[in-house]
Amino acid sequence: MDSINITGARILFEIPVTDSFVIKITQAQVNSWIVILFLFILCKVLTRNLKVKPESKRQLIAEFIVEKATNLVNENMGQKFIGFTPFITALMALSACSSLLSVFGMYSPTADLNTILGWSIIVFILITYYKMKGGFFKYLKGFTQPIAVLTPFNIISEIATPVSMTFRHFGNICSGSVIMTLVYAALASASALVFGWLPGALAKFPFFQVGIPLVLSAYFDMFGGILQAFIFAMLTMLYISSAAEED
């Protein structure tokens, strides 16, 4: 058990601003920019030399993604919010690709609480904006509904929205990473116990780590990450459209 090391994002380097203030650059930040760069290049490739009548599979893929994303937003938010399609699509792609980094042995930014919290705060600002469009005092009055005595609970409920979105996404991805780490460590120990009698390097080779973790990895690293990206996007659409109904 001493060989198991489960920690958050490692600090890669620091940028000193003043004697008492230092900006710490972590794996989560660097890997987030890697994902953003990948998505930027992917978008440039898919949308290069577009034709009115598609002549390449690349354009067909791009049109398929746009069509499905537009339909998703239209079905869950309505035509009024069709302009949110790029935002919702970017949010899903960023979340899914960030979670899938663990498949390649890289630290997943979605396993860092700060990453998800940043996304949730952006969504919360949008929710508050649409609620306030009906009037600032009407927004404040909404906390007293249906009766004034429930005001503290309504305020807590409002703050709980970004908190619940953050911990739901972060908890699922982080727990998957922890479970996979424990599984790999257990398989390494089991290999040493069963094959420790083999000569030389064969005794230290983790035979049980070859192929066996694939099923769990397919769930925690792939299916789980994509599912949480979809859920986060669905909650975003639900909360924003609900706030607009109050407006």
**4 within a domain of the structure (yes/no):** no
- pLDDT of 211 reads 67
The length of the chain in residues reads 247
* 128 residue type, one letter: T
d(CA 7, CA 176) in angstroms, rounded, equals 13
1 pLDDT above the threshold of 50: no
**1 within a domain of the structure (yes/no):** no
Number of domains, the chain: 1
**43 within a domain of the structure (yes/no):** yes
158 pLDDT above the threshold of 60: yes
- pTM listed for this prediction: 0.83
Select the more confidently predicted residue: 57 or 146: 57
**142 within a domain of the structure (yes/no):** yes
Q: What is the mean pLDDT of residues 78-85?
A: 90
What does the buried/exposed string (b/e) look like for 61-95 if buried means 16 or more CB atoms within 10 Å of the residue's CB? ebeeeeeebeebbeebbeeebeebbebbbebbbbb
**48 within a domain of the structure (yes/no):** yes
Pick the range with the lowest mean pLDDT from 3-12, 201-210, 238-247: 201-210
**164 within a domain of the structure (yes/no):** yes
Q: What is the mean pLDDT of residues 43-52?
A: 88
CA 7 to chain centre: 19
d(CA 140, CA 156) in angstroms, rounded, equals 14
- Reading phi first (left if > 0) and then psi (alpha if -120 to 50, else beta), residue 78 is in left
Structural contact between residues 240 and 131, judged by C-beta atoms closer than 8 angstroms:
no
**6 within a domain of the structure (yes/no):** no
d(CA 148, CA 142) in angstroms, rounded, equals 10
d(CA 66, CA 83) in angstroms, rounded, equals 12
Query: Which range of residues forms the domain containing residue 227?
Result: 11-246
**210 within a domain of the structure (yes/no):** yes
